[in-house]
Structure 1
């Protein structure tokens, strides 16, 4: 294949990469705080709320992300009476599905990190005269984040690859343009280029996350 052909297919694929990265940043910036909120909300003494959150996490983690995306995009509008009010833009629907799914995973990761913090840390904070807010923000949460960081990093890398599921709901991202080029030109080169782009994104992200992990290890 000529350089001109590579440049021709690379332009739309880079546009698709922008959509991929846009979704990634929206989801990671939204699902992380939502997952943290769910972790602490699940510890409330109000049992109905705890049960509701546990049910939500179970459903999100127990069903495929692709199924969730299809339901939000194509299933919600079919619900009787209220379906007409639940028609969402494809990208908005995809963002919603990704955020809800990853928030559930991050909630479980943070819960594991919270359980890993020694109970004596709470008692020591009480001895020092710290209130609950100070205990959580100054003592418990930094340790929880340190324990949770490797698992959060793994989920973050997985999110980059999962963005390819946008193709299934007709959102024009990187894989969409690669598939279009393959169907049009009968060559697998666009797949190879798409793979290199995904690999480059994950390598850069992995390097950033490892640097953050090393920084937390020495704190």
Structure 2
């Protein structure tokens, strides 16, 4: 036996023996199960107390749930939500890009818009647009320093619907601007530099390269804003616009069934919010496919 073999045998003799394989048995979560059962009993008891309480007027709820006046108000609420969100997304994109501009004048104007509409209550803005005729009896548009001007009475141009669209849309644009700006800033600046090196203009690089990568960050808060706008639109009832809440208020002011009619409004708001949430989840999955595929490719390479 050589010296090397003797040394190897000596090292092998001093190696620690292999530890026995341990079997992990998860602990039985009896405490969690008992808490879940207790919580379920509390929820069922609460729901039963609501369903069996005659003061809620469930028969009146069923009677007015599909009332044409309620459905008309629901349609206006959904229409306002969609229109103001489109306006908010468009304005938000424009002012987000402007606020990131290197031009001081452009960036200052964008930041002033965001500062004003985020700093004043949306209810005040709605009332302001509704009463704009008190400040400007006529609205004029035309070419400066010429006689080519058109004037219309402000109360004719700014109807309650237009006041609602302006108030909600401009306010939403300020919030969407910050959401979109945060998404754009999250994209690696090297992406813009690479796009410019390929000969792309700034606008084309923004539309084709930067925005698609920012969408997974922009979509979740935008969905929350849409759901919030659905409920915020109920403020238009103060300017006598027949949305869902105003329609409910009109009915219960005559039959004095306040609680049942408010439950009708809540049920429709909950249904619309649920649909919006499902759409948001679908859009998030769509824009999250690229990041999911990239992570799967990295795991495959590892």
TM-score with structure 1 setting the length: 0.90
| 1:39 alignment counterpart | 96
Instruction: Give the deviation of 1:78 after TM superposition.
Output: 2.0
Q: CA RMSD in A?
A: 2.0
Query: Which position in structure 2 is the counterpart of 1:119?
Result: 189
Matched, 1:199 2:199: no
Match of 2:238 in 1: 168
Q: Find the partner of 1:83 among 137, 141, 145.
A: 137
User: Which residue of 2 is the match for residue 65 of structure 1?
Assistant: 122
Q: Cα distance 1:78–1:45, how it changes in 2: closer, same or farther (>3 A)?
A: same
Please name the residue that 1:189 is paired with: 260
Select the structure of larger CA radius of gyration: 2
Partner of 1:51 in structure 2? 108
Deviations 1:22-55 (A, max 9, x none): 1112112222112111111223333222211111
Quick one: structure 1 residues 174 and 123, their matched pair in 2 at CA, closer, same or farther if it must change by over 3 Å?
same
Contact in 1 for aligned 2:187/2:213 (Cα 8 Å): yes
Structure 1 gap ranges (5+): none
Deviation at 1:130, TM superposition (A): 3.7
Matched, 1:151 2:210: no
Cα displacement (A) at 1:147: 1.2
State the match for 1:133 in structure 2: 203
In structure 1, how many angstroms separate the alpha carbons of the residues matched to 2:115 and 2:60? Answer: 49
CA distance in 2, matches of 1:37, 1:166: 26
Unmatched tracts of structure 2, length 5 or more: 1-56, 140-153, 291-302
8 A contact 1:9–1:190 mirrored in 2: no
Larger relative contact order, structure 1 or 2 (CA cutoff 8 Å, min sep 6): 1
